[in-house]
Amino acid sequence: MGRKIFITATDTGAGKTFVTANLIRLLLEQGISASAIKPVASGVSADGINEDVEALMQAQQLNNPDLVNLYTFRLPASPNIAAAAEVQQIEPEKLVRWCHAQAEKVDLCLIEGVGGLMVPLNETYLVSDWISDMQGCEVILVIGARLGCINHALLTLAQLKRQGITPAYIIINAIDESDISMQAETSLRPWLAPTSQLITLPNKARSSDFSSLLSRLLAEA
């Protein structure tokens, strides 16, 4: 089975898709056998495709959303609510099995989550449960640098620790031109595990910023 990296975040809009799309684009440019998937998505555009799914399709030059996504619901809401609106339900075993199947096709599979750790996928299953069930999966935590992000980050790290998970990389994503990202980096560093690497992406990050992260990832393969 190929290497799996689960990309989660402190909350919605932190930059999971931005990070995932840039990483997969660079991986493929380097000729590495890789894929990026967004198994669960809520909310669609006028053409019926979720914007995050579409971004990952474009990054991989794919035309079929089924290669990237398993569950998409029209309502832009928590997956449990969006699924219920269509009289559907996410099946955890099916979800985990599908993710493993995609990872078997490549050497490196990026799995983008949905929202933060405590987002419900159904009445009894959270994103945190999904990560736990993805055995052998590394974790990247993306933090959107905005007011409140330090609290969100520490809560997320505490939950991961309870699950026995230490994120390999913690990425502070500068959403705007403020200095919150530097404040977050200074505040979070004392709380991080020695094995977690902290990376701050500047606002409007360029390919070179992701090239450095990619080099580190591949060095650990």
pLDDT at 76: 96
pLDDT at 220: 73
- Asked whether the predicted pLDDT for residue 192 surpasses 90, the reply is yes
- Asked whether the predicted pLDDT for residue 127 surpasses 70, the reply is yes
Identify whether the C-beta of residue 169 lies closer than 8 Å to the C-beta of residue 202: no
The per-residue pLDDT for range 54-110, each reduced to its tens digit, is 999 999 999 999 999 999 999 999 999 999 999 999 999 999 999 999 999 999 999
DSSP letter string over 84-123? HHTT----HHHHHHHHHHHHTTSSEEEEEEEEETT-BSSS
| CATH for 3-219, options being 3.40.50.300, 3.30.70.580, 3.30.70.100, 3.40.50.10860 | 3.40.50.300
The per-residue pLDDT for range 147-176, each reduced to its tens digit, is 999 999 999 999 999 999 999 999 999 887
CA distance 87 to 12: 24
List residues bridging with 34 in a β-sheet: 108
CA distance 214 to 145: 21
pLDDT at 54: 97
Average pLDDT over the chain, rounded to an integer: 94
Rg of the chain over Cα atoms, rounded to whole angstroms, equals 16
pLDDT at 210: 83
- Asked whether the predicted pLDDT for residue 221 surpasses 70, the reply is no
Q: Of the listed 38, 105, 161, 204, which one is catalytic?
A: 38
- Asked whether the predicted pLDDT for residue 184 surpasses 80, the reply is yes
- Asked whether the predicted pLDDT for residue 205 surpasses 90, the reply is no
CA distance 195 to 210: 20
pLDDT at 1: 63
4 catalytic, yes or no? no
CA distance 175 to 180: 9
